[in-house]
Amino acid sequence: MSAFALLLSLVLMGMQASGDYSYLSPEELAKQSDLIVTGEFLGSNAIQPSNAASPLQLGTIRVESVLKGQSGLSVVYLNLPTPRPNGLVGSADILLKPGQKGLWYLKRKSEGLYVIDHPSRFVDMAAAGPRIQALKSAR
């Protein structure tokens, strides 16, 4: 193999496409989640905690049902990433919009505060039926 061919193959191998997130099966998501609920994302607000230098972006989910975790919740609070300046959106950003209804696989960040750190942690209600049934039957 010539030096040029070797260099070309190394360059092309380095250009391989890769995603920012690996696939997580519904079973893996359920196992890695502290709280699984169905509900509606109501929106988010910036809050300035007294002990923090930067504001906290706090999102709210109105809970319809709890499939794993603390029962009896009516709302869940999310620690969301701070929006980028000038409305820029990164390819790895997880975008939530008020009114989104579905199945939420949540990880605990601290007492009463959860995060969504993977796009698969939200499943739109239109596609969530089979997963909800599987979670209910696994209890």
Per residue in 25-61, pLDDT tens?
Answer: 899 999 999 999 999 999 999 888 787 677 888 999 9
Residues, the chain: 139
Q: What is the pLDDT along the chain (139 residues), one digit of tens a residue?
A: 566 555 545 444 444 444 567 888 899 999 999 999 999 999 999 888 787 677 888 999 999 999 999 999 999 999 998 777 777 777 667 889 999 999 999 999 998 899 998 889 999 999 999 999 999 998 7
The separation between CA 107 and the C-alpha centre of its own chain, rounded to angstroms, equals 9
Domains of the chain: 34-84+92-138 (2.40.50.120)
- 23 contact partners, CB below 8 Å, separation of at least 6: 120
Start-to-end Cα distance in the chain = 59
